[in-house]
Structure 1
Amino acid sequence: MELGKISPIIINLLKTVENFALTAFLQGILGASSMALGALIAVAWQPGRKFLAAVMAFGSGTLMAAIALEIASAVYRSGGVLVLVGGFLLGGILFISLSKYIDEQGGFLRKPAASRRYVVEHKMLESHELVDYLAHSEVMNALPEQERHQLAGLLTPHHAYPREVLCREGDQGDYFYFIGGGEADVYKGTTWVNRLTSGDIFGEMSLLTGEPRSATVVAVTPMELYQLDKENFANILSQSPHLALALSRKLARRLQSATDFEAIVPPEDKVSVLEPLVEGDRQMLAKLAQSSAPMAILVGTLFDNIPEAMVIGMNTNVTPWGGAFLFAVFISNFPEALSSSFGMKQAGISNRRILTLWFGAVVASGLIAMVGYSIGQGGTLLLVAVAQAIAGGGILAMLASTMMPEAYELGGSSVAYATIIGFLAGFLISASHF
């Protein structure tokens, strides 16, 4: 063949490659663009829990169908059972391990589910230290080891400053307190009654009787307090006869000496709740957020989207500008970014940083999709199958550890219907290409 005829062929081939690479980039941008949309909405408005749950469940169902029909089936045809099973398992292991490492570096704020998981694990580690710290408490020492750790896991830390009103006479009781350190004075009206120190407790009488607090407690020095809310107090009291006995002895001595000084934290001093986190976790989360690295949050956000963007890029030649997988990624990214952005906002991260984070993730997803396209073009069928299997396992791990649990927590059992509808939608879109 003459050189003059070969040159146009090469040029056309290069143009085709460039066009597909650009297509992969744009598809990556398109799939991730809903993250930017979710972040924009979150900085100005918070949608209802049911809405978030429904969209998240719908996206989860669509992703599951797309994974089964567009990833798992392709891997099985190209690489066989071993590649399918091994790749998916490896992808899941890598995702969970790296996700845990990123959380420990401060990236746990990128998603509410990651935030809750990190807070729970952090509290479990602290419970052992807290048991030792409160060992001088008569009530804590009266409990068996297992019940000590159970109680410690339910306590919420609170730092009080001098002259801070911890409890106010006449208010309804919602909390029971352990004093870990510091001192506080007890007043009946304007009359000084007693001084509380490390190891003392207060607030339990009002929770037991339902009567208003009978005294006011004011911090004298900086204090470390640990509070237990009414619901958890009732639950653990019904399960622990040792705690009931210890409290009875404490109350008997107190009544005998006429120093009944129960009180409550006033409304302005209560620890608020970060939805959708569990009761009492916001204070801990805000404290942890101060040490979280913005770069870790960024890396964590990109990490969560790498498997999806890679698959989008590798599928560019197969389903250009179509396919259930691209549709599912777009749908699933929206509620995740929306809820994550709101959680970051509540943790004190500025709107500017939130928007920069998500818009940067959108652009990065496009670049990752181009990398995926390059692997699909330059690699062997076996290499592509392995890469797709690992990515598929990572996406399934993400669904199981974040999206699906959060959808259920926000919407309850009703999310099953949205998940089924999403799965059917993904199946029908994928089936239309076969």
Structure 2
Amino acid sequence: MFDSMVMLAFTLGIVSASSLPMGAITAKFWQPSDRATAILMAFGGGALLAALTIDLVASAVEEGHFYALAAGAMVGGLLFIGLNQLVNDYGGFLRKASTTIYHFRRKQHQQIKQIISRIHQVKLFHDLPTNDFKIIAPSVRVVTFHKGETIFRKGDPADTFYIIDEGGVDLFRSEAGEQNTIQLQGYDVFGWYPCLTSTPNTLNAVASRETRVWLIPKHAIDTLLINSPHFQQEVHLLLRSGELQHYLEQQHLLTTDEIERWTDQAVRQLIRRGVVPPAVEVNRNTAEILERFNQIKRLPMLSELPEEEQILIGRALIYKRYQRGDTLFLQHTRADRLFILDTGEVNLIDPETPLQKTVVLHANDAFGTFSLLTGARHSVTAVAAENIGLWELRRRDFYSLLGSAPVLAERYREFIQMGGARDYLQSRHLNSEQSQRWTRQALRCIDTGEELPSAADVARDLHANKAAPLAIWLGLTLDGIPESLVIGSSLINAGVSISLIAGLFLANFPEALSSSCGMKEQGFKFRRIFLMWFSLMLLTGVGAAMGNIFFVNASPALFAFVEGVAAGAMLTMIAETMLPEAYFKGGSVVGMSTLCGFLTAIFFKTLEV
């Protein structure tokens, strides 16, 4: 009799969880729309709610064990929250859209708190109200630079200022390590005066070691100027002080008369419109590049573009001059721009294969193109063979152009879809799985207007989340443990509950389907996804059998406590993952879908004899 009960518990556990591998198989052949996923998730959540209410909560309350049930429910809920957060921090958040969204929102909240504390380092922000800080915080980005990587270059538009979180940065005019190099450490702020005055950077900024930096964009400062009278007043006082005058005189060699004229103009525009005009314009040499646009070589994406798009690109280019021997970029460093040579020659060198012939570039040649288009690291080193002039297009400016230049955007899409980007990445930087993941993300970002992924970041993220498959599996197991114990223990004092088994089955299928689709988007292969769900189905059966064995002689109060733990954990899981994900994907459709699932589980209860 004992063995038969254990086998029955195992079988019922398998039946309730058999919809998990079914969901994985369905995801292989069908990619449901967000609305369809939402309907299924809400339906399953409603069915599970009904099963928990009828088969766990109601039975314990009827027997007079409410307090044991309530205590167990609190313990179960707290256990789920704690363990869920733990596995999420190791990459387990990737198992579901809802846990992914929550993970990044929590990180964003922590980031905003840090920003508010760090930005007080800037004198201008010392007394700024907290509500004004919140105008800036959502625009802040956090970027990690490796040793030797360039943060910005001399002559770049100053559209960002920076706060060092960890690490160090060297500021210098020509070569790193020169006598006048300024060495910055954690919490130091740089790029503030150029950003406020919209002047080109007069220094180079390079990470002296692994460095984490906060990037505060100029458009956030401009928004703050318009919306914060307090900040306007502080900027007004700064404009009339000697600090900015000294900066413009020393760094941009402006005369006293030029500085006074700009200051008067800046004060007037600040009062009338809430803006500060540029003190020095960025050198772009737009007219020259427009005349030779169709002569550019090694960059077919720009050939024969409509005139209005050529003008947009020309206005985004930055014109600079370099001396013979200057290094434009180093092999294996982050690619943040492409180059179009105007005058002189540039050598492309592969230091790791010295016998390979040096590539010599001439006027109108473009280089750094594939690295920019994919965000990969440079595969060669570029050095000026003589004094040169060239145009630079920064990666951030290129992605901004995609939103206003439809022909360019379509050519970029074709470059990705036709396999040009994938072939380049697989030949030099990423494996097949990683390059396919980058391709999917890039196409999705083009459609949504989001910032495109960097191939270097994809490779780094996959390495950083190498424990993610195990964490995802642990997270899925965490979701399934409570239900398996309840199935086994419920057979001790009662018969088979059709409504409970049906509720679990109906809830498991959409959860597995949605999670499998999400893991497939993250680059997981079907075999790995299926094995995760199949192993969880087996564990559910084993857990049901163990629950039947361990609680065979349990007192009614202890049994109610165990039911409470399971109910609390599953209710918390429904509230934190299933229903939020359903609402995020389907909106108002969730209400009726949840109700239908709830009534379906109750209907199965009417079938019990």
Q: What TM-score does the superposition give when structure 2 sets the normalisation length?
A: 0.53
| Pair 54,119 (structure 1): closer, same or farther in 2 beyond 3 Å | same
Whole-angstrom distance in 2 between the partners of 1:139 and 1:336 = 50
Q: What are the within-5 Å matches in structure 2 for residues 386-405 of structure 1?
A: 386-405=561-580
1:58 to 35, 43, 47: 43
Whole-angstrom distance in 2 between the partners of 1:281 and 1:122 = 20
Q: Is residue 76 of structure 1 aligned with residue 61 of structure 2?
A: yes
CA contact (8 A) 1:157 1:227 kept: no
Post-superposition offset of 1:430: 1.8
Identical residues among aligned pairs (%): 27
CA RMSD of aligned residues (A): 4.6
CA contact (8 A) 1:158 1:227 kept: no
SS in 2 for 1:330: helix
Post-superposition offset of 1:220: 8.1
Give a deviation string over 1:348-399, Cα, whole Å, max 9, x none.
4444433332222121111111112224433233322221121111111111
**Structure with more relative contact order (C-alpha pairs < 8 Å, separation 6 or more):** 1
Whole-angstrom distance in 1 between the partners of 2:555 and 2:579 = 34
Q: What are the within-5 Å matches in structure 2 for residues 218-367 of structure 1?
A: 226=215, 240-241=228-229, 254-259=277-282, 263=316, 265-267=397-399, 287=461, 290-291=464-465, 293=467, 294-316=469-491, 318-320=494-496, 323-367=498-542
Q: What are the within-5 Å matches in structure 2 for residues 101-112 of structure 1?
A: 101-112=86-97
SS in 2 for 1:315: helix
CA contact (8 A) 1:106 1:297 kept: yes
CA contact (8 A) 2:7 2:545 kept: yes
Q: Which residue of 1 aligns with 2:81?
A: 96
Give a deviation string over 1:248-282, Cα, whole Å, max 9, x none.
879965434334988553249999678xx997798
Whole-angstrom distance in 1 between the partners of 2:542 and 2:401 = 48
| Pair 346,234 (structure 1): closer, same or farther in 2 beyond 3 Å | farther
Post-superposition offset of 1:229: 12
Post-superposition offset of 1:51: 0.4
Post-superposition offset of 1:49: 0.3
SS in 2 for 1:377: coil
* Structure 1 unmatched runs, 5+: 1-15, 170-175, 185-196, 206-214
| Pair 140,70 (structure 1): closer, same or farther in 2 beyond 3 Å | same
Whole-angstrom distance in 2 between the partners of 1:150 and 1:200 = 18
Post-superposition offset of 1:128: 4.0
CA contact (8 A) 2:222 2:275 kept: no
Post-superposition offset of 1:336: 1.9
In terms of fraction of residues, the more helix-rich structure is: 1
Whole-angstrom distance in 1 between the partners of 2:452 and 2:530 = 25
1:353 counterpart letter in structure 2? R
1:18 counterpart letter in structure 2? D
Q: Is residue 118 of structure 1 aligned with residue 110 of structure 2?
A: no
Post-superposition offset of 1:17: 2.6
Instruction: Pick which of 133-142 and 351-360 moved more.
Output: 133-142
Whole-angstrom distance in 1 between the partners of 2:16 and 2:515 = 17
Whole-angstrom distance in 2 between the partners of 1:319 and 1:51 = 35
Whole-angstrom distance in 1 between the partners of 2:587 and 2:222 = 25
Q: Which residue of 2 aligns with 1:429?
A: 604
CA contact (8 A) 2:46 2:595 kept: yes
Q: What are the within-5 Å matches in structure 2 for residues 131-210 of structure 1?
A: 131=116, 143-148=128-133, 151-158=136-143, 177-179=160-162, 198-200=190-192
Whole-angstrom distance in 2 between the partners of 1:131 and 1:288 = 30
Post-superposition offset of 1:341: 2.7
1:368 counterpart letter in structure 2? G
Instruction: Pick which of 299-308 and 239-248 moved more.
Output: 239-248
1:389 counterpart letter in structure 2? G
Q: Which residue of 1 aligns with 2:556?
A: 381
SS in 1 for 2:588: helix
1:113 counterpart letter in structure 2? S
Q: Which residue of 2 aligns with 1:368?
A: 543
CA contact (8 A) 1:43 1:351 kept: yes
| Pair 144,59 (structure 1): closer, same or farther in 2 beyond 3 Å | same
SS in 2 for 1:47: coil
Whole-angstrom distance in 1 between the partners of 2:575 and 2:449 = 20
CA contact (8 A) 1:50 1:411 kept: yes
Q: Which residue of 2 aligns with 1:188?
A: none
Whole-angstrom distance in 1 between the partners of 2:162 and 2:216 = 9
1:265 counterpart letter in structure 2? D
SS in 1 for 2:215: strand
Q: Which residue of 1 aligns with 2:11?
A: 26
Q: Which residue of 2 aligns with 1:11?
A: none
CA contact (8 A) 2:140 2:216 kept: yes
Give a deviation string over 1:298-337, Cα, whole Å, max 9, x none.
22211111111111222346343x5122112122222222
Post-superposition offset of 1:233: 9.3
CA contact (8 A) 2:487 2:544 kept: yes
1:390 counterpart letter in structure 2? V
SS in 2 for 1:266: helix
Q: How many matched pairs?
A: 388
Post-superposition offset of 1:163: 8.8
CA contact (8 A) 1:27 1:312 kept: yes
1:404 counterpart letter in structure 2? L
Q: What TM-score does the superposition give when structure 1 sets the normalisation length?
A: 0.72
